[in-house]
Amino acid sequence: SRYLSPAVASEIANQPEEADGLLGGKLTEVVVLMTDIRGFTAYTQAMSSSGRVVELVERLNVYFSEVVEALHGQGATVDKFIGDATLAVFGAPIHRGNQVEASAAIEAALEIEARLRSLNQTWEQQGETSWQQVIVLSFGTVISGNIGSSRRMDYTVIGDAVNTASRLEAVAKQCQRTIVMSQGVADLVRDQWPLEDLGRFEIRGQTAQHVYALASVTNPVPKAADRS
C-alpha cells in the first residue's frame, strides 16, 4: 500500500491468489511519468548554507505528498523518489488499456500542476520561494516486478520507456514547457488532448522522434527547431 495506489492495493488484497502473478516479473506496456523540480540543486544549496535543512526536507515531503495523492487518484504506481524527482507508472501491475493509462497520466499531470500552484500560493504568502516543475511522459514495453534481495525488494520497472522519460526532462526544460510527452504517448492521446509538436529530438539510444507538449498548459514561446 506504500507504493501501489489504494485501488490497486485493494484489488490485489481481494485476490491474494493472483498476487504472485500481478507482482512477479513480466513484460507489459506502460506509461511512465516523471516529475522534476527546476533549479532544485541551487535551492538545496541556498537552504543548506542558511541552516534550513530541516525545513527543506519538510517542504519536499509536503510536495511529494501532493504528487502521490494526485498519482494514486489516477491509479498510478509510485515507483520511487530520486532526489526531488518522482517516478511513477500507469499500467503495472494492473493494466487498464493503453489509451486509458495514457489519459490517466495526463489527468494526473494536470492535477500535480494544480496542486503545486496551490502550494506556491501558500509559500509565497509565507515569503518563501515558489517552485517550478516539469512533468514528462513516455510509453513503451518494460519489465515489471519485485526486484531486489531477500533483505530489500522494490516493485519497479526496467526498460527504454523509463530511460526516455528521464531524457525528456532536458527537452522540457530546453523548450520551457511544463508537460512534455514522447511520440508514443502523443499517439495515444492526440484525439483527446490538444498537443503542440516541439520538433524532432535525438533521444540517446533511440532513433530521433517528435516530442510533444500539452498545449493547454504551455506558454506561447517559439517552437523548437527540428533537432534531427
Q: State pLDDT tens for residues 64-114.
A: 999 999 999 999 999 889 999 999 999 988 899 999 999 999 999 999 999
pLDDT at 15: 65
Q: Under 8 Å CB-to-CB from 218, ≥6 apart: which residues?
A: 177, 178, 179, 196
**Residue 153 belongs to a domain:** yes
Q: Indicate the burial class of 175 (C-beta count within 10 angstroms; 0-12, 13-18, 19 or more).
A: buried
CATH number at residue 97: 3.30.70.1230
Q: State pLDDT tens for residues 19-40.
A: 666 666 788 999 999 999 999 9
**Residue 157 belongs to a domain:** yes
pLDDT at 11: 63
Residue 138, φ and ψ in degrees, nearest 5: -135, 165
**Residue 14 belongs to a domain:** no
Q: Taking 60 as the threshold, does the pLDDT of residue 224 lie above it? A: no
**Residue 12 belongs to a domain:** no
pLDDT at 104: 97
pLDDT at 18: 61
Q: How far is CA 227 from the centre of its chain?
A: 24
The C-alpha torsion from 165 through 98 and 108 to 47, rounded to 10°, is -20
Q: Are 22 and 93 in contact (CB under 8 A)?
A: yes
* Domain with 202 in it: 19-217
Q: State pLDDT tens for residues 106-161.
A: 999 999 999 999 999 999 999 999 999 999 999 999 988 777 776 777 778 888 88
**Residue 62 belongs to a domain:** yes
The whole-model pTM stands at: 0.85
| Residue 69 C-beta-side C-alpha neighbours within 13 Å | 12
- DSSP β-bridge partners for residue 27: 143
Parallel, antiparallel, or unpaired for β 133-148 and 153-158?
antiparallel
Q: How far is CA 91 from the centre of its chain?
A: 13
**Residue 228 belongs to a domain:** no
CA distance linking residue 60 with residue 24, whole number of Å: 31
**Residue 13 belongs to a domain:** no
**Residue 102 belongs to a domain:** yes
In the chain, how many domains are there? 1
Q: State pLDDT tens for residues 177-223.
A: 999 999 999 999 999 999 999 999 987 767 788 999 998 654 433 33
> Which grid coordinates belong to 1?
500500500
